């Protein structure tokens, strides 16, 4: 066995084995996607969107549920592609960077990569940024979710999977975006903002706790981390 067998084991352990499982997961994630991702997607639901390394297709399923009609995806796992095609259609079996190189220029309104970046060697990520920039229409967005290199809790995610290679801080990601021609970057912290139940209590408590923690970290280290959760969402705008 090798480290990729761990990825297969984890995929099976998550018990997402049928179209019904994928739809259930899409509904479970819908509140988070509605709050964090939907504002970064085009208002016009007919514009082309694609997910990079789409896996079993739960995010593509959510896009369909939100009315997006021109949706596609790509993944290198034959089993995952077979499952994703049953809930979203338009999913290709290919390497992400090879797929990007074949896409028409200035085409996509948004490309989304959820839990992808941390699996890529640095040069492959640079190639992804180059390919995504070419494939995006002017004003289009590359939306990424990755372990938050800014956070003292980053190890809870980054080192929780032996197929993870690397991750990035918001500052580093902003620099890489500029290197590849992106006009600006935006970030969203996956934390108390995505709480769904008892928001009247948990959101103010989360905001206050984050403020106290940032103050303590600044006093102890002279650093000023703005994003504290173990995961970070980023939007790179062309």
Q: What's the rounded Cα separation, in Å, for the pair 119 and 121? A: 7
Q: Say whether domain 3-197+227-237 belongs to CATH 3.40.50.150.
A: yes
Quick one: DSSP state of residue 221? H
**pLDDT at position 4:** 62
Q: Is 210 helix (H, G, I), strand (E, B) or coil?
A: helix
Task: Evaluate whether 87 touches 23 at the Cβ level (below 8 Å).
Answer: yes
Cβ–Cβ under 8 Å, residues 148 and 229? yes
142-170 tens-digit pLDDT: 999 999 999 988 988 899 888 899 999 99
- Banded pLDDT at 9 (limits 50, 70, 90): confident
Closest CA to 109 of 157, 69, 79: 69
pTM of the entire structure? 0.95
Reported as type and span, the H/E element at residue 234 is strand 231-237
- Pair 151, 170: CB distance under 8 Å: no
Confidence at residue 3, expressed as pLDDT on a 0 to 100 scale: 60
Give the domain ranges of the chain: 3-197+227-237
């Amino acid at each position: 066995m090798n480290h990729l067998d761990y990825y297969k084991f984890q995929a099976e352990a998550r018990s997402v084995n049928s179209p019904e499982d994928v739809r259930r997961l899409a509904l479970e994630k819908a509140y988070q996607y509605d709050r964090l991702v939907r504002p970064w997607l085009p208002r016009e639901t007919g514009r082309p969107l694609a997910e990079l390394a789409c896996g079993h297709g739960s995010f593509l399923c959510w896009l369909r549920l939100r009315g997006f009609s021109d949706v596609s995806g790509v993944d290198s796992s034959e089993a995952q592609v077979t499952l994703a095609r049953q809930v979203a259609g338009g999913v290709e079996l290919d390497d992400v960077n090879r797929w990007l190189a074949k896409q028409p220029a200035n085409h996509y309104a948004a490309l989304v990569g959820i839990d992808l970046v941390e699996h890529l060697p640095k040069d492959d990520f640079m190639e992804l940024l180059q390919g995504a920039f070419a494939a995006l229409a002017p004003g289009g967005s590359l939306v990424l979710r990755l372990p938050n290199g800014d956070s003292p809790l980053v190890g809870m995610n980054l080192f929780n999977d032996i197929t993870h290679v690397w991750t990035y801080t918001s500052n580093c990601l902003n620099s890489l975006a500029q290197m590849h021609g992106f006009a600006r970057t935006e970030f969203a912290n996956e934390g108390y903002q995505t709480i769904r139940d008892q928001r009247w209590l948990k959101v103010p408590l989360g905001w206050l706790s984050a403020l106290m923690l940032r103050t303590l970290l600044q006093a102890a280290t002279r650093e000023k981390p703005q994003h504290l959760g173990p995961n970070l969402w980023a939007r790179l705008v062309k």
